[in-house]
């Protein structure tokens, strides 16, 4: 069926599976069948590197068998993970051949397919699917890590744009997610490989510096660990000790955060002591021994054994001062702690002889993800959810305590309000203040590790709108948002009941359609906004009733334009309006847009839609609005696509005139390295080369990255594209795209 080469590859995969997996978790027959199925499915298909496509799922499976040892089910699913996405075989075919368990894992690892408005939406939906799948079976995300790791190892064969996109995505999502699952070695390699493509110049510079100092470093480490080795051996410990250079991306982050050069950093390497013992107290004993050999730095001592990180990382960290006066970081851990530190959740397959892993921290985090995803459709957009998820991944942890001594692990930057919502939603909603270490503190004060926090509540308290600006946890943000959304719905309901009572009392009868048209004329977005407004101010009902009873005021109201942009509701299709639509279509067939943003063409006025902000060069289309004008949209605008399906007779073809059309507004989204002066360089590039006015700048920083939007005055799409291209070539800029205003 397949040649000698692939028979040899299969034998190698089986060898590592049997060698690294605990008894009972390997299954030669299952892995062989999956290999043969994948080989046939991907036959005659090549990768970008020119290799047969089967090489990718094979290498992903090999990572799971050799580097992150899992079970045979995971290895089989890895071999099959691209079959549904890239071949004619369906998920039902996988299910029929390999059963429900493998089919579900393959489904979870398969990317979202179908039509989406843009790449970003497809990306968000893919993340949501992946996250939801992994809450059902942890092996989904472990396969995705292996898949991404192999893709980055072979990234050189892709285009520069794809390299940057994949590398950026990895740094933002996959690397911190691998850290969350405790896979230190995977996280490290993902970051270094991504860094290589995001900033090759700085990557090479750091690598060169480390290489130049390698012999000097090895000589120093050998001298440093010699007395430690002798002392621990004398004391009867069985151990492994070695020094290691820190990985390139972590060094890069230190350079940025401390504003230093490579040569100025002292902690470029660390010494690790791994004890062959089951007694964790031996780690503390060893700390005492090495502290007698070298002077410890007290403020740099961290005990992650008594208080493990949320990903179950355990180790003692200390910094010792060598005889030469250099500071050296030392980590002390047991062999099992080391396995869990390097392989995280995957290490459970070695230390627990089943895949039903029970870990309270992980289970709580999975529960948070599942609940967030299931409730997000009503209360928040996909992008809001993804932002919260990223925030949860990026932040460091702090350890705080309740007055009874219960430990709460919170993200760095968390406030007392975050702490209150973490205890219980009702505690958060009723929070009026907090005592931190016995002292009353402002609710927006960031907490620190070791703080004891007492939440003060009142049954009369309700959340404040400003809270959402300073809380950092997803739970707090989501609960606050839900509260105000529920409040608004209740107010709309109360406003509607109030309107119905008052209008009935004054014998006013309006259909929903008529009321909708009238509230638009009164500058409300829709009837919901109107009901909400009158629930806050009952006088607004009297104002409307007065207008409805006065013919002159009603006539004046009818001649008003509707202000809300692109709020399309059912409109009155009178004979007069239908006649106007026909005239507009006839008189404006193939409109050539002239200079200026608004002008009359054969008696027909037009303006540009604010929902999509078309600029000269965009493909555009016109919509005949009820207030007797034409609104110009980009052809890809979601609003106009909906209208095209509902009322195609109101759509007309529009073309741009090639003459100067004046000034328009365009948006640019930039992602890059957060370093001093980069924003100034970008704004200078725009003003110097394009003589464009920058209307607004919004920059957000995260870790060593920044993400920003610039709103600029431009003449046409060509100029906008040239600005994007120019900025994209600047050092430290990773990606530049048009921002949808």
Q: Contact 602/591 with Cβ under 8 angstroms?
A: no
Q: For 287-300, b where at least 16 C-beta lie within 10 A, e where not — what string?
A: bebbeebbebeeee
Rounded CA-CA distance 348/70 in Å is 9
**Catalytic one among 40, 86, 379, 387?**
86
Residues pairing with 397 in the sheet = 411
Tell me the two tokens of residue 485. Answer: 């959304």
- Does the active-site annotation cover 387? no
Cβ neighbours of 356 (radius 10 Å):
6
Q: How many other C-beta atoms are found inside a 10 Å radius of the C-beta of residue 112?
A: 16
Contacts of 105 (CB under 8 A, 6+ apart): 73, 74, 77, 133, 137, 139, 140, 143
Give how far Cα 23 sits from Cα of 18, 173, 521, 614, Å. 8, 34, 74, 63
Cβ of 528: how many Cβ atoms within 10 Å?
Answer: 16
Which two structure tokens, joined as six digits, stand for 285?
Answer: 């004993």
Residue pair 474/389 in contact by the 8 Å Cβ criterion: yes
Angle between helices 539-549 and 474-505 (to 10 degrees): 40
Measured CA to CA, the distance from residue 85 to residue 74 in angstroms comes to 18
Q: Which helix (H) or strand (E) holds 428?
A: helix 425-429
Q: How many residues are given for the chain?
A: 741
Q: Choose, from 85, 230, 497, 731, the residue flagged as catalytic.
A: 85
Q: Would you say 433 and 457 are in contact if contact means Cβ atoms under 8 Å apart?
A: no
**Do the bridges between strand 664-673 and strand 705-714 make them parallel or antiparallel, or are there none, so unpaired?**
antiparallel
205 assigned to active site: no
Helix, strand or coil, per DSSP, at residue 433: strand
Cα–Cα distance measured from residue 568 to residue 625, given in angstroms and rounded to the nearest whole number? 9
Query: 514: number of CA atoms within 13 Å, CB side?
Result: 6
| DSSP sequence for 305-342 | TTS--TT----EEEEEE-TTS-EEEEEEEEHHHHHHHH
At residue 701, the 3 state secondary structure works out as strand
Q: Within 13 Å and on the Cβ side, how many CA atoms surround 369?
A: 25
177, 311 Cβ separation under 8 angstroms: no
- How many whole angstroms from its chain centre is CA 643? 32
Q: How far is CA 577 from CA 111, 580, 584, 624, in A?
A: 47, 5, 10, 10
What's the CA gap between 705 and 172, in Å, rounded? 9
Q: Which helix (H) or strand (E) holds 606?
A: strand 604-608
Tokens 């392989």 sit at which residue?
343
Separation CA 698–CA 706 (nearest Å): 10
Cβ contacts of residue 389 below 8 Å, gap of 6+?
127, 131, 369, 372, 474
DSSP code for 452: B
Q: In this structure, what token pair is assigned to residue 618?
A: 């965009």
Tokens 């992903």: give the residue: 60
Question: In whole angstroms, what is the distance from residue 479 CA to residue 252 CA?
Answer: 37
Phi, psi (rounded to 5 degrees) for 209:
-60, -45
Measuring CA to CA, which residue among 241, 313, 390 is closest to residue 703?
Answer: 390
Count of other CB atoms within 10 angstroms of residue 490: 12
Let me know: does 455 contact 434? Beta carbons within 8 Å: yes
Nearest to 285 by CA among 334, 339, 221: 334
State the catalytic residues: 85-86
């Amino acid at each position: 069926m397949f040649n000698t080469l692939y028979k040899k590859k299969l034998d190698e995969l089986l060898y590592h599976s049997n060698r690294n997996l605990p008894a009972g978790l390997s299954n030669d027959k299952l892995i062989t069948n999956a290999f043969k199925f994948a080989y046939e499915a991907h036959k005659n298909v090549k990768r970008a590197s020119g290799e047969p496509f089967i090489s990718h799922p094979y290498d992903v499976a090999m990572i799971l068998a050799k580097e992150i040892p899992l079970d045979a089910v995971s290895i089989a699913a890895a071999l099959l993970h691209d079959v549904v996405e890239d071949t004619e075989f369906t998920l039902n075919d996988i299910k029929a051949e390999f059963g429900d368990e493998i089919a579900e894992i393959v489904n979870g690892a398969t990317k979202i397919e179908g039509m989406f408005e843009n790449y970003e939406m497809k990306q968000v939906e893919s993340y949501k699917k992946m996250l939801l799948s992994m809450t059902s079976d942890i092996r989904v995300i472990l396969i995705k890590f292996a898949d991404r790791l192999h893709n980055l190892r072979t990234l050189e064969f892709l285009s520069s744009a794809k390299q940057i996109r994949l590398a950026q995505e990895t740094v933002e999502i996959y690397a911190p997610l691998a850290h969350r699952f405790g896979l230190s070695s995977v996280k490290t390699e993902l970051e270094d490989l991504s860094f290589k493509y995001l900033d090759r110049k700085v990557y090479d510079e750091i690598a060169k510096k480390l290489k130049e100092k390698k012999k000097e470093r090895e000589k120093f480490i050998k001298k440093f660990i010699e007395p430690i080795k002798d002392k621990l051996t004398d004391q009867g410990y069985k151990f492994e000790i070695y020094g290691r250079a820190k990985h390139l991306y972590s060094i890069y982050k230190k350079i940025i955060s401390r504003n230093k050069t490579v040569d100025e950093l002292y902690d470029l390497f660390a010494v690790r002591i791994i004890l062959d013992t089951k007694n964790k107290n031996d780690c503390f004993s060893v700390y005492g021994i090495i502290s007698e050999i070298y002077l410890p730095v007290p403020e740099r001592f961290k005990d992650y054994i008594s208080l493990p990180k949320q990903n179950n990382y355990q180790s003692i960290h200390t910094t010792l001062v060598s005889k030469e006066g250099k500071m050296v970081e030392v980590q002390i851990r047991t062999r099992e702690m080391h396995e869990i530190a390097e392989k995280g959740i995957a290490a459970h397959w070695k230390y627990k002889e089943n895949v039903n892993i029970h870990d309270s921290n992980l289970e709580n985090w999975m529960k948070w993800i599942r609940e967030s995803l299931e409730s997000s459709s009503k209360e928040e957009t996909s992008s809001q959810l993804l932002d919260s998820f990223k925030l949860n991944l990026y932040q460091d942890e702090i350890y705080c305590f309740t007055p009874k001594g219960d430990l709460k692990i919170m993200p760095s930057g968390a406030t007392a309000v975050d702490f209150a919502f973490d205890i219980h939603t009702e505690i958060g909603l009723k929070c009026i203040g907090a005592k931190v270490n016995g002292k009353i503190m402002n609710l927006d004060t960031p907490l620190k590790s070791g703080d004891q926090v007492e939440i003060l509540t009142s049954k009369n308290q309700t959340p404040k709108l400003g809270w959402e600006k300073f809380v950092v946890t997803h739970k707090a943000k989501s609960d606050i948002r839900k509260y105000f959304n529920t409040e608004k719905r209740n107010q709309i309901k109360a406003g509607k009941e109030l309107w119905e009572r008052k209008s009935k009392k004054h014998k006013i009868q309006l259909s929903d359609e008529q009321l909708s048209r009238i509230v638009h004329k009164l500058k409300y977005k829709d009837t919901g906004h109107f009901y909400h407004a009158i629930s806050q101010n009952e006088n607004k009902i009297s104002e409307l009733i007065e207008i409805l009873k006065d013919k002159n005021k009603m006539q004046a109201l009818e001649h008003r334009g509707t202000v809300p942009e692109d709020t399309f509701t059912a409109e009155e299709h009178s004979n007069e309006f239908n006649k106007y639509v026909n005239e507009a279509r006839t008189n404006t067939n193939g409109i050539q847009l002239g200079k200026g943003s608004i002008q009359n063409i054969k008696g027909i006025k037009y303006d540009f839609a604010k929902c999509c902000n078309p600029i000269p060069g965009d493909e555009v289309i016109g919509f005949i609005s009820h207030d007797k004008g034409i609104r110009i949209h980009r052809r890809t605008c979601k609003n106009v696509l909906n209208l095209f399906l509902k009322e195609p007779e109101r759509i007309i073809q529009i073309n741009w005139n090639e003459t100067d059309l004046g000034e328009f507004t365009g948006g640019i989204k930039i992602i890059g390295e957060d370093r001093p002066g980069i924003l100034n360089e970008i704004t200078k590039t725009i003003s110097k080369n394009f003589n464009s006015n920058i209307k607004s700048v919004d920059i957000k920083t995260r870790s060593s990255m920044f993400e920003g939007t610039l709103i600029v005055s431009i003449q046409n799409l060509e100029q906008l594209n040239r600005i994007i291209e120019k900025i994209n070539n600047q050092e430290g800029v990773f990606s530049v795209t048009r921002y949808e205003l």
